[in-house]
Amino acid sequence: MRSLSSKLRFGLQDLSISDVALIKGRNQWRITNAILESSLSYELKNSPEKLVLISRLLDFAKKVVAYEQEDKYLFKLMRDVSLFLKESELSSQELLNLECIVVFNILCHLGFMPLSSNLEKFSLKNTGLTVDLLDDFSNVRRSTVKDINEAIKAGDL
Does 96 score more than 90 pLDDT?
A: yes
pLDDT tens column, 3-14: 666 777 777 788
- Tell me: pLDDT of 108 over 80: yes
> pTM for this one?
0.83
pLDDT digits (tens, 9 = 90+) for 33-55: 888 888 888 888 889 999 999 99
**Residue 95 C-beta-side C-alpha neighbours within 13 Å:** 19
Computed over every residue of the chain, the mean pLDDT equals 86
Mean pLDDT of 20-26: 87
Domain ranges of the chain: 1-39, 44-154
Whether 68 shows a pLDDT value over 70: the answer reads no
Instruction: Reply yes or no on whether the pLDDT at 18 is more than 80.
Output: yes
Residue 25 has pLDDT above 70, yes or no: yes
- Residue 43: enclosing H or E segment and its boundaries? helix 40-43
CA nearest neighbour of 130 among 121, 143, 139 = 121
Give the model's pLDDT for residue 118.
81
